[in-house]
């Protein structure tokens, strides 16, 4: 598959990440089929894409897009509750949440990929937006390990520029290159990440949560400073846009 062959992108999940990915892709000129469980979830996702803080309406008001560009982009968006509607997609990215109290749910992702593998065309590339699960574990649920990788976007997906492209020993080099080119067309800067066992996270989250966040929590636990003062110190001292606790350092488990 070449980058020119990717014309329709499937997005599994219409939450914060799935909606942001879908919005990015339609603005970039791709047809998108976004699937979630209910029409209510899908309607909320579309409203956020249009009227949310980082929505298309605001983009028009700021001169980032014209109304015509937005209308054309929305015409490329299909919302559905039927996973079968993704059968002809060229590239499918999973961005499903974990349910109440969980950021992500590994068994759920494995189940979804197993079902999707039976429906999608054989040449389609699969990707997971997981922020920390081992990609090989998810790919094992399919018969397309050579066309399965991770593409971890950061939130909000239509604003943040980084995409971590996580490769396994089984994925073809040409597939990695196609996905890197796709990231570029979607306005992202990609970095290559070797997949590792143990659900360690990739680059950014692994370093943040196992290094910066852990030390920030230690500073607070030792009574050195409050979480608020730690955030102020890191923002003003190192010019961070947000402090570690604002980024979720207070959570002893889970990932951003």
**In the listed set 148, 163, 194, which residue is the last one of a domain according to the structure?**
194
User: Is the same domain home to 52 and 80?
Assistant: yes
Specify whether 221 is catalytic. Answer: no
Question: Catalytic one among 31, 128, 129, 131?
Answer: 131
Q: Is residue 199 part of a domain?
A: no
187-220 burial, b at 16+ Cβ within 10 Å, e below that, comes to ebebbebebeeeeebbebbbebbeeebeebbebb
User: Is the same domain home to 133 and 175?
Assistant: yes
Which pLDDT does position 126 carry in this prediction?
A: 98
Q: Is residue 180 part of a domain?
A: yes
Looking at the structure of the chain, the number of domains it has is: 2
Q: Is residue 111 part of a domain?
A: yes
Local confidence pLDDT in tens for the 256 residues of the chain: 899 999 999 999 999 999 999 999 999 999 999 999 999 999 999 999 999 999 999 999 999 999 999 999 999 999 999 999 999 999 999 999 887 777 899 999 999 999 999 999 999 999 999 999 999 999 999 999 999 999 999 989 999 999 999 999 999 999 999 999 999 999 999 999 999 999 999 999 899 988 999 999 999 999 999 999 999 999 999 999 899 999 888 764 433 3
- Residue 229 phi/psi, 5-degree rounding, is -70, -30
Which pLDDT does position 251 carry in this prediction?
A: 65
Specify whether 202 is catalytic. Answer: no
Range of the domain at 166: 3-194
N residues, the chain: 256
Running DSSP on this structure, what letter comes out for residue 163? E
Question: Catalytic one among 128, 164, 180, 202?
Answer: 164
Specify whether 164 is catalytic. Answer: yes
Within 8 A by CB and 6+ apart from 251, the residues are none
136 with 168: CB under 8 angstroms? yes
Structure token pair of residue 178:
């196609």
- Residue 126 phi/psi, 5-degree rounding, is -105, 145
User: Is the same domain home to 90 and 177?
Assistant: yes
**In the listed set 146, 165, 194, which residue is the last one of a domain according to the structure?**
194
Model confidence, pTM? 0.90
Specify whether 40 is catalytic. Answer: no
Question: Catalytic one among 152, 180, 190, 202?
Answer: 152
């Amino acid at each position: 598959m070449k980058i020119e062959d990717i014309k329709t992108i499937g997005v599994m999940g219409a939450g914060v990440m799935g909606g942001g990915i879908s919005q990015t892709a339609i603005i970039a000129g791709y047809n998108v089929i976004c699937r979630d469980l209910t029409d209510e979830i899908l309607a909320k996702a579309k409203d956020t894409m249009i009227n949310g803080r980082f929505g298309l309406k605001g983009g028009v008001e700021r001169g980032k897009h014209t109304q015509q560009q937005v209308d054309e982009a929305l015409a490329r968006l299909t919302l559905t509750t039927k996973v079968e509607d993704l059968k002809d997609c060229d590239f499918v990215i999973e961005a499903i949440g974990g349910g109440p109290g969980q950021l992500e749910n590994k068994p759920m992702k494995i189940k979804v990929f197993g079902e999707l593998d039976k429906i999608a065309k054989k040449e389609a590339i699969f990707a997971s937006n997981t922020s920390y699960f081992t990609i090989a574990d998810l790919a094992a649920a399919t018969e397309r390990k050579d066309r399965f990788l991770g593409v971890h976007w950061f939130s909000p997906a239509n604003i943040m520029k980084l995409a971590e492209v996580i490769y396994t020993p089984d994925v073809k080099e040409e597939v990695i290159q196609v996905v890197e080119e796709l990231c570029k067309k979607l306005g992202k800067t990609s970095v290559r990440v070797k997949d590792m066992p143990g659900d360690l996270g990739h680059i950014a989250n692994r370093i943040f949560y196992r290094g910066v966040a852990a030390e920030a929590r230690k500073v607070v636990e030792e009574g050195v400073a409050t979480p608020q003062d730690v955030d102020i110190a890191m923002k003003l001292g190192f010019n961070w846009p947000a402090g570690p606790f604002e980024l979720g350092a207070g959570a002893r488990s889970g990932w951003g």
